[in-house]
Amino acid sequence: MEDINKQIGLKFAEYPPGAKSALLGLRAIILEVAAKEVTGLSESLKWGQPSYAAKRGSPIRIDWSEKNPDQYRLYFICHTSLIATFKELYPDTFHYEGNRAIVFTIGQDIPNQALTHCLSLALNYHKLKHIPLLGG
């Protein structure tokens, strides 16, 4: 999975250098967590955004937009309890956008331990969704 397929590679090539570097870093963290947590992670474009899906998980998407050029986002399906759980577990660690995204500023230090935990919960969501706070 480390190699980027052509379609995904073209998408990353569209981003400006700072955003590209930040998003590739986020991608590396997602792949690292997935390698430890799940089998069969798929990487594709969904709604024009890099998307990562595991069989028993909830899809994760990442993106940058010209609308907010100093930010990039990690998106989750809004009708899951993922963001609500993250807000409960990490109320001051991340900046949240409603019930669908964690927002990062380009160049900021990523709280790796907290992010890794959140990604693990997302990648295993369907196994955990019946447990309070997703077992977190």
Residue 92 lies in a domain: yes
Question: Looking at the predicted structure, is the pLDDT value of residue 1 above 50?
Answer: no
The larger pLDDT score, comparing residue 130 to residue 50, is at 50
Mind spelling out the 3-state secondary structure of the chain?
CCCCCHHHHHHHHHCCHHHHHHHHHHHHHHHHHHHHHCCCCEEEEECCEEEEECCCCCCEEEEECCCCCCEEEEEECCCCCHHHHHHHHCCCCCEEECCCEEEEECCCCCCHHHHHHHHHHHHCHHHHCCCHHHHC
37: confidence class by pLDDT, cuts 50, 70, 90: confident
Domain harbouring 49, CATH code: 3.90.1150.200
Is position 133 within any domain?
A: no
Q: What is the pLDDT of residue 31?
A: 95
Residue 25 lies in a domain: yes
In a domain, 103, yes or no: yes
Residue 134, domain member (yes or no): no
Residue 51's domain spans which residues? 6-127
What is the band of 30 on the pLDDT scale with cuts at 50, 70, 90? very high
Q: What is the pLDDT of residue 110?
A: 94
Tell me what pLDDT residue 29 has: 96
More confident residue, 74 or 56: 74
On whether residue 132 sits in a domain, the answer given is no
Based on the structure, what is the number of domains in the chain?
1
The answer to the question of residue 10 being in a domain is yes
Residue 109, pLDDT > 90, answer yes
Is residue 135 in some structural domain?
no
